[in-house]
Amino acid sequence: MVKILRKNTFLGKILFYLFFFVFIFFIFPFFVVNFSGSLNVVSSKSCSEVVNKKNTGIWFSFIEWKNLNAGKNEEDWNKTIDEIIKNLQSLKINNVYVHAISHSDAFYKSGLYPMSKTISKDGKPVEYDPFRIFVDRLKEKGFKVHAWINPLRGMFDEDYKKISDSYQTKKWYNAKNKKDYYMKDKLKRYWLNPANEEVRNFIKKAVEEIITRYNNIDGIHIDDYFYPAGLSEANVLEGDEEYFKKHNPKKLDIKKWRRENITELIKAFYETCSKHNKVFGVSPQGNMNNNLNGMFFDQEDIIKKGYLDYIMPQIYFGFKNENMNFCDCVKKWKKLIKKNKPKDRKIGFYVGLAAYKCGMQDDVYAKKGRHEWRDNNDILKRQVCFLNDIKNCEGFTFFSYESFFNPKKEVENVVKKEKENLLKVLK
């Protein structure tokens, strides 16, 4: 063949141009699509079509409650909600994840938890129900609303001392066997013990309280606060290992034991939501190893057992992040869900996006991409466009509301441009 081509230069040129045409129009685009994460070739130019994902969400956290509600009367809170709704509509948001329980306290009128001090006035709970008003107003405007719960994170000593003795969490705090119910981290914060069935039943009761009191919500949502991150022999939880030694009938090692405790907690959430026809979803960290070995959330086992309706990993990485880039991480999650999905039903796949990183000077967890968020103002747009081409990815959610609508002064211009770029592709 080589001899023939050498003799026939015209035929050689034809074959060369044919190969060049095939490479440019067929092979190279395939390479770009499948390896864009590693090579960071998701460019603005390749992102021009309108994104058609059904679910565009935003997290409204305890920080937003503190900054936007704290101590307001009902009339002023309604005015603030008017502005919030206007802002959400401007960014085409249709799902709102509203903090209901964050630190063993409540942003609603609860019979189980004290009202959060961040929305109290002069140290006393407000007389109206800010959560109910917020949920009702959002529902009236067509938003889906999810009550967001941190099930295990508790308070500090000074906080527990101030709440009424009538609360179950205070009774456990005062109990002689306090360590059966609470663990304490190195910062002296208390965490409810998920290994204790009595604790899990209490949290399950809280889920039912929210669902029955606010039956117009669409579901219950939890994020990545399971066991506190980074537990190790050098970083232990006070009370955790003692309880493990006394309550481990299956003789598991401590890591498997912790994972089983979290799985049982997730199962309780899912069963309660299913009973009331509400959706239940989890937003773990994007790093699967951190989930499994740092916070003891066994994503593979939980998906396989079908203990949730959707999963929304927080893929808070840039395209250039050498440790874990955005595109590769999305593909790994998609593969995990596809491989482990239960036979009888579908598990929804959504992605959490880091609006809070817009304009960030130094992303310390990255290597090559440490300044990516500082030097670009279209990262979220490109991420949204990348997700638009991921089959079975049903949407994305931004963390968080104030990152877009009340950013720090030093990143205001970058955030403004990010929103402008996003709106070019959002329906």
Torsion sign (Cα): 214, 219, 223, 228: positive
Give CA separation, 53 vs 92, 315, 390, 392, in Å: 11, 17, 10, 10
Cis ω on the peptide bond leading into residue 164 (within 30° of 0)? no
Residue ranges per domain, the chain?
1-39, 46-423
Q: Are strands 190-192 and 182-184 parallel, antiparallel or unpaired?
A: antiparallel
| pLDDT surpassing 60 at residue 6 | no
Least confident range from 35-44, 246-255, 284-293, 415-424: namely: 35-44
At 33, the pLDDT band (50, 70, 90 cuts) reads very low
pLDDT in tens, 91-116: 999 999 999 999 999 999 999 999 99
Average pLDDT over residues 402-423: 97
Per-residue pLDDT at 182 exceeds 80: yes
H or E element: which one contains 334? helix 326-340
What is the pLDDT at residue 47?
A: 61
| Burial letters 90-123, b for 16+ CB under 10 A, else e | ebebbbbbbbbbbbbbbbbbbebbbbbbbbeeee
Average pLDDT, the chain: 90
Per-residue pLDDT, averaged over 129-149, amounts to: 98
- The 3-state DSSP class for residue 379 equals helix
Is the pLDDT assigned to residue 129 strictly greater than 90? yes
How far apart are the C-alpha atoms of 345 and 97, rounded to whole Å?
24
The CB-based long-range contact list for 407-412 (8 Å cut-off, 24+ gap) reads 407/358, 407/359, 410/359, 411/358, 411/359, 411/360
| Span 46-423 CATH architecture | Alpha-Beta Barrel (3.20)
- Residue 5's pLDDT is 44
Which pLDDT belongs to residue 14?
Answer: 61
Lowest mean pLDDT among 21-35, 164-178, 277-291, 368-382: 21-35
Strand partners, 192: 182
Q: What percent of the chain has pLDDT over 70?
A: 87
pLDDT confidence bin for 9, thresholds 50/70/90 = low
CB 399 within 8 A of CB 314: yes
pLDDT attached to residue 39: 44
Question: What is the model's pTM?
Answer: 0.89
**Average pLDDT, integer, range 56-79:** 96
| Cβ-based neighbour number of residue 358 at 10 Å | 24
